[in-house]
């Protein structure tokens, strides 16, 4: 398996634009997590899914952020409208139900100017 | 969530052992101790985990205090590729499945 795949790797957008980040988890994994990393706040959990159903979205900063998982092999994190303070590295991770180890993607570096 | 405390940074010499400490005085009986590391410009990767007994794997060893209020990640021979931020995380297997990351310890390895 190629691991957790995120796209794009880098995204530069203007304030006010819509941004969509994509994640393909490892096949057969039951959990999918979205994290955000900044220098100031470190790694923060935004939301996670179990079998495509959102379980905990308490980390989503505000209504501008939304996440979906239409099927077991794909998830999106959307920011609309984007703001400069959303600039961060966004990580997706997946894990099997009975497993311990979470596998992280390479991340998407988002810059909002 | 039970909190962990780690030193902000540590230095080591290449090919020497490294002991990375973690304090978790409020750990509960169902909390597992997990360690992840994040290499530069990469996502975190799993290192090791344990509950009560010491654990060994190909990457590292985990020594857990008898009262479970602290643990130590041991890298037996540090290499330059081990330079990373190491996170000690508690995860309650009975409540939720997320990992909550703290600040971690930045390990610098000198040649």
Element (H, E) at A95: strand A88-95
Among the partner residues B43, B49, B104, nearest to A100 by beta-carbon distance = B49
Apex CA B65: angle with CA B63 and CA B71, to 5°? 55
Predicted confidence (pLDDT) per residue in B36-69, tens digit: 999 999 999 999 999 999 999 999 999 999 999 9
**Is A48 in contact with B103 (Cβ distance < 8 A)?**
no
Q: Which residues of B touch A105 (CB under 8 A)?
A: 43
Under 8 Å CB pairs connecting chains A and B tally to 47
Under-50 pLDDT residues of chain A: none
pLDDT for A98: 81
**Is A45 in contact with B98 (Cβ distance < 8 A)?**
yes
Predicted confidence (pLDDT) per residue in A5-37, tens digit: 999 999 999 999 999 999 999 999 999 999 999
The CA distance from A44 to A25, in Å, is 19
A58: nearest CA partner in chain B: B98
**Is A101 in contact with B32 (Cβ distance < 8 A)?**
no
Query: Count of alpha carbons within 13 Å of A26, Cβ hemisphere only?
Result: 19
The CA distance from A17 to A83, in Å, is 8
The CA distance from A61 to A40, in Å, is 15
The CA distance from A34 to A48, in Å, is 6
Q: Which residues of B touch A102 (CB under 8 A)?
A: 36, 44, 46, 99
CB-based contact B86:B21 (threshold 8 Å): no
B81 SS3 class: helix
Residues of A engaging B, defined by a Cβ cutoff of 8 Å = 4, 31, 33, 35, 42-45, 48, 50, 55-56, 91, 93, 95, 100-107
Q: Testing the interface with A: which of B50, B98, B100 to mutate, by most A Cβ within 10 A? A: B98
**Is B44 in contact with A43 (Cβ distance < 8 A)?**
yes
Predicted confidence (pLDDT) per residue in B60-94, tens digit: 999 999 999 999 999 999 999 999 999 999 987 66
The CA distance from B23 to A24, in Å, is 35
């Amino acid at each position: 398996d190629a691991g957790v795949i995120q796209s794009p790797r880098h995204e530069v957008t203007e304030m006010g634009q819509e941004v969509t980040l994509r994640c393909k988890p490892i096949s057969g994994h039951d959990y999918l997590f979205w994290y955000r990393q900044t220098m100031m706040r470190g790694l923060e959990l935004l939301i996670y899914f179990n079998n495509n159903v959102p379980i905990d979205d308490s980390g989503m900063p505000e209504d501008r952020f939304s996440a979906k998982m239409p099927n077991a092999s794909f998830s999106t994190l959307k920011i609309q409208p984007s703001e400069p303070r959303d600039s961060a590295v966004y990580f997706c991770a997946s894990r099997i139900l009975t497993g311990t180890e979470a596998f992280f993607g390479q991340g998407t570096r988002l810059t909002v100017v | 969530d039970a909190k962990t405390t780690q030193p902000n940074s540590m230095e080591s010499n290449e090919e020497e052992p490294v002991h990375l400490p973690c304090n978790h005085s409020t750990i509960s009986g169902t909390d597992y101790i997990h360690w992840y590391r994040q290499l530069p410009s990469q996502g975190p990767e799993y290192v090791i985990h344990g509950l009560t007994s010491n654990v060994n794997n190909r990457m590292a060893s985990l020594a857990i205090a008898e009262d479970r209020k602290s643990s130590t990640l041991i890298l037996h021979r540090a290499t330059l590729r081990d330079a990373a931020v190491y996170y000690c995380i508690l995860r309650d297997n009975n409540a939720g499945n997320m990992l909550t990351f703290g600040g971690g310890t930045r390990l610098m390895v000198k040649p």
